[in-house]
Chains A and B, each alone.
Chain A
Amino acid sequence: MKTANKTVTATQLVKDALKKAEFFKDYNVFISLNEEAALKRAAEIDERIARGENVGRLAGVPFAAKDNYLVKGTKTTAASHILEPFEAPLNATIIDQLEAEGAIMIGKVNLDSFAHGSSTENSYFGPTLNAVDKTRVAGGSSGGSAVAVALDVVEFTTGSDTGGSIRQPASFNGIYGLKPTYGATSRYGVISMASSLDTDGFLAKSAEDLDLLMSICAHRDEKDLTTLPDFYETSEAKKVQKIGVVKEFDSDVVDPEIRACLKEKCEELKKSGHEIVEIDMPTLKYALAVYYIIQPAEVTSNLSRYDGIRYGFRSENSADLDSLYGNTRNEGFMKENKRRIMIGNFVLSSGFYDAYFLKAAKARTLIIEEYNKAFEKCDVLLTPVSPNPAFKLGEKVGDPIAMYIEDLMSVSINLAGIPGIAIPAGKTKSGLPIGLQILGPRRSDKTIINFAKELA
């Protein structure tokens, strides 16, 4: 990662990033730029460097934050209409941690509204275009985060991953994306989607950069009591010898070029002395249904707070309080937000709770057990991230199920709380990036990052 020093100033790094953001404007990556504050911070950092101070491990490094991260004084919209006027009164813990090491937040990047989606087409501010092919989607929900890194506007971005939202856009744009172990990083100040699945992580150009970002951010946070006691920096990377591949993912649902890419990688690994183990995971085929029950249920609860009273958009012309709630929420949420909130209420409502929500919670136990068994037979799993490379804009946005299928191979690790890293692994004949993901047991973040370095 390029940091500032006495010859390359933070001001220059920030100016370059802002210039690139302007140059690539038609990709619709940024929802807002933080130009004035970023330049002011850069000048302060340059002064400190000139005085010979140690500014930190990310001295003057420009980065962008997914627009569901609260950054004090910036608009934080979650790419929604209902939070369009919302200006954050405080910083997310991850933003504080990055800034304490000298990083500079230059702008807020696009996502599917409230992170509901797999293409960034559900944004109130329009879709972000793929960095490699502008007729295709960026992936999602961290689409802006992925394209900002892939176009080299910034060194890294923050993202959030509830069911693949960091890994899938990373793989659609040919970069690295890490979803840490659940609880490894703080969720304080990041807009909640589905609390038992939400994990905050990063998108970057290398596994080395992700390693550095985890050293900085994977810490227990008093403001988020669901953070784990520190483990990242003290853990040892395990030498990866046995690599598992999931038998069920070698099917027609997955694009042949992606399957070929995985097979090729496995052959290379065998040649370099690794062992490839085929693993049966029959319950994984239910993971997507389980996810699309548990996630909307939690979305329903988390999004009930948006009522137009304390902050955000408020509908005009409501005669009484009840119609104010109903109008604000109906005008403020987008179609996919509404589908998820209504499905969440469906699976939780009396008469359906046992058949859907409780059933899914039990199936979640089986999925966790299946992963536990898999990791008795191998050190890590290597799987595709998504069933296909980046698809065309508009191709799936009208069909919710077609869009949900995108998450087929990414959601189960959120249900299990284990970490995964998406790595660039090749290209299709037409030049689209193919990503693979390395998955490990809970707290194996260092092992999978280290293995990603080996594979680079």
Chain B
Amino acid sequence: MEITREDLKHLADLSNFSMSDEELDSLQPDLQKIVGYISELGELNTDGVEPTYQVFEMENVWRDDEIKEMEADREALLDLTTEEKENQIKVPKVL
């Protein structure tokens, strides 16, 4: 299948990338090749096969609902952000 400019724009939006038109165009040949390659899987017969999403052998591993101290406290975590005010993370306007 062909990856069009519109497809690329849609994928960039889904990915949250503010891409220029030039950058979108520059990615087209690469993504086209990758999609071409992975499409070869279509020839493998998988009728009646159950999918595997994880190989961990176990499901629903529970732990006791106990409060545990984290190594990193609130101050250490807030130190990681660019702008902080009164113990909150500052961002540009939302609306």
Contact = CB atoms under 8 A, between A and B. Distances in A.
Nearest to A308: B82
Contact of B71 (A72, A292, A300, A324): A72
B67 to A, nearest CB: 14
A329 B46 contact: no
Nearest to B35: A346
Given A309-B89, A343-B31, A400-B30, A330 B17 contact: yes
Given A320-B93, A321-B94, A338 B17 contact: yes
Nearest to A288: B37
Nearest to A311: B80
A196 B27 CA distance: 27
A292 B77 contact: no
Contacts of A361: 51-53
Interface residues of B, number: 51
Interface string B52-95: 11111110010100000011100011011110000001011110
Quick one: which of B11, B58, B70 has the most chain A CB within 10 A?
A: B11
8 contacts: A86-B80, A286-B40, A309-B91, A310-B89, A320-B93, A342-B17, A361-B53, A364-B52
Given A286-B40, A343-B31, 19 more contacts: A89-B72, A89-B76, A226-B61, A228-B57, A293-B41, A319-B92, A321-B94, A323-B92, A326-B16, A330-B17, A333-B17, A338-B27, A341-B17, A343-B34, A345-B15, A346-B11, A346-B31, A363-B46, A404-B37
Interface of A: 72, 86-87, 89-91, 182-183, 196, 222, 225-226, 228, 283, 286, 289-290, 292-293, 300, 304, 307-312, 314, 318-321, 323-327, 329-330, 333, 335, 338-339, 341-343, 345-347, 349, 355-356, 358-366, 368, 400-401, 404, 415-417, 442
